[in-house]
Amino acid sequence: MSGEKRLPNDRGRRTGLGLVAFVAALLIWGSAAAPAEAAVPTIWCGVGASAADRLPDPSGRQIHVIYAVPADGPDRFAAAANEIATDLATVEAWWQREDPSRTLRFDTYPFAGCSGLGQLDLSFVRLPQPAAFYQSFSGRFTKLASDLLSGFGSRGKKYLVYFEGASGDGSGVCGQATMSLPDLGPSFAAIYLGVPGCGTLGGGAYTATTAAHELVHAIGGVPFGAPHRCADSGHTCDNGVDLMHPSGFGDESIDGYVLDVGRDDYYGHSGGWIDVRDSLFLRRLDVPQQPLTVALSDSVGGSKIQSDAPGIDCPTVCTIAWDGGERVTLEAIPGDDRRVVRWTGACGGTSLTCALTMDRPQNAGVVFGPLSYPGRVLIAGGGRVTSAALGFSCARSCTGRFDADRTVAFRALPARGWAFAGWQGDCRGKNACRLRFDKTHTIRAVFKRR
Ligand SMILES: [Zn+2]
């Protein structure tokens, strides 16, 4: 006998993320003899340890990876970075084997000298509390998520946290994640390093399996409606080799696992429930990427354009490639005293957002303009200039600001003994002067003695 399996004690829970979620655990029990053979050795070529998410990001949603240690924990980052890169490269290779058309969208950074997950944008976080604070399995996940949320709270990101500090934990639980919406961050998945029986980081074995398992939870999981969903948790209970089976032996290679046995529960199924394969946290490899180019007329007052998922952050990043077919929503953010005059290119209208489908190269732009324009009224002789709509009455020279694109009518009213001789400047003739404030205007009312 090589061991036994046991169902986990998953439990309903609410996180602080505003999502109805529950924590799902990958639990191990016992041990088996199959060695790991699948590891994809990877050297991390990042420079230094960054506690923050490095920018810029590649396009689209991102899985950002964090290595976290308690305040008093040993700093093993230099070694752990290579081990994490190796495990995740192994996960990536396994995912390609299971589905050649998709890959996980890990957040990378263009470190010189390597490619692939050697370029993982890996953060190193020293947590605010000592190891004892996180020691108990109960409540640990919530503590980690709340400690990390202030620095890692992007709507476009899922966060995979390697927690180094669970070594005395006898729970047998190797990782946890919030089961959350497939396309919306932030949400967290955690791997507890050092739990006896949960494998050793860097071998592409059980820690890699756990990473893949928790990431699937984080990008949709095994939803209600899946025919083989376990009665008491967001796992599959039909086959022990399924990645989303609730428990394993603790030392198997990820090679021995299958991404949704029968493709009928959570990945590539034909049912109407959530399908992890559709998650925007997966990059499509079966359709070409398409460039999106965004232009803005100016960045006066801090005006900019951003995409809903990380990518476009114009004026800094205005051209980027997106997955073919992905839907991108651009948001125009006018700066102080600025507004959207109009969208150009593939977008139109004057609203703040524009949605595009990246089934071909796309160009879009925004013309920003002032919220208001100055108007100057000069008076020669005896009389006043009024605007009934604005309650405006000017007896000498006046200046004011007028809402952009508003059309304003001015009337000239001579004083007793004076007659209106006509407009000068931006108005002509003797009739009421109507001006549209799409630019600065100056008008002069000339009165002559009778
Ligand atoms: Zn699980």
Please choose, from the candidates 319, 310, 312, 315, the residue with its C-alpha nearest in 3D space to the C-alpha of residue 296: 315
Q: What's the CA-to-centroid distance between 10 and ligand 1, angstroms?
A: 8
Domain extents for the chain?
Answer: 11-283, 287-370, 372-449
User: What pLDDT was estimated at residue 60?
Assistant: 78
Q: What's the CA-to-centroid distance between 219 and ligand 1, angstroms?
A: 12
User: What pLDDT was estimated at residue 165?
Assistant: 86
User: What pLDDT was estimated at residue 151?
Assistant: 92
Q: What's the CA-to-centroid distance between 210 and ligand 1, angstroms?
A: 8
Q: What's the CA-to-centroid distance between 238 and ligand 1, angstroms?
A: 14
Which tokens belong to 130? Answer: 């000592």
Question: For residues 251-286, b (16+ Cβ closer than 10 Å) or e, as one string?
Answer: bbbbbbbbbbbebbbbbbbeeeebbbbebbbbbbee
Q: What's 103-154 look like in SS3?
A: EECECECCCCCCCHHHHECEEEEECCCCHHHHCCCCCHHHHHHHHHHCCCCC
Fold of 372-449: Ubiquitin-like (UB roll) (3.10.20)
Q: What's the CA-to-centroid distance between 442 and ligand 1, angstroms?
A: 70
User: What pLDDT was estimated at residue 57?
Assistant: 66
Q: What's the CA-to-centroid distance between 180 and ligand 1, angstroms?
A: 12
Q: Amino acid letter at 173?
A: V
Q: What's the CA-to-centroid distance between 119 and ligand 1, angstroms?
A: 27
Q: What's the CA-to-centroid distance between 222 and ligand 1, angstroms?
A: 9
Ranges of the chain with pLDDT below 50 = 1-22, 30-36
User: What pLDDT was estimated at residue 99?
Assistant: 97
User: What pLDDT was estimated at residue 120?
Assistant: 95
Options 2.60.40, 3.90.640, 2.60.120, 1.10.3470; CATH of 287-370: 2.60.40
pLDDT tens, position by position, 351-381? 999 999 999 999 999 999 999 999 999 999 9
User: What pLDDT was estimated at residue 308?
Assistant: 85
User: What pLDDT was estimated at residue 18?
Assistant: 29
Q: What's the CA-to-centroid distance between 342 and ligand 1, angstroms?
A: 48
User: What pLDDT was estimated at residue 248?
Assistant: 83
User: What pLDDT was estimated at residue 330?
Assistant: 96
Which tokens belong to 47? Answer: 């420079």
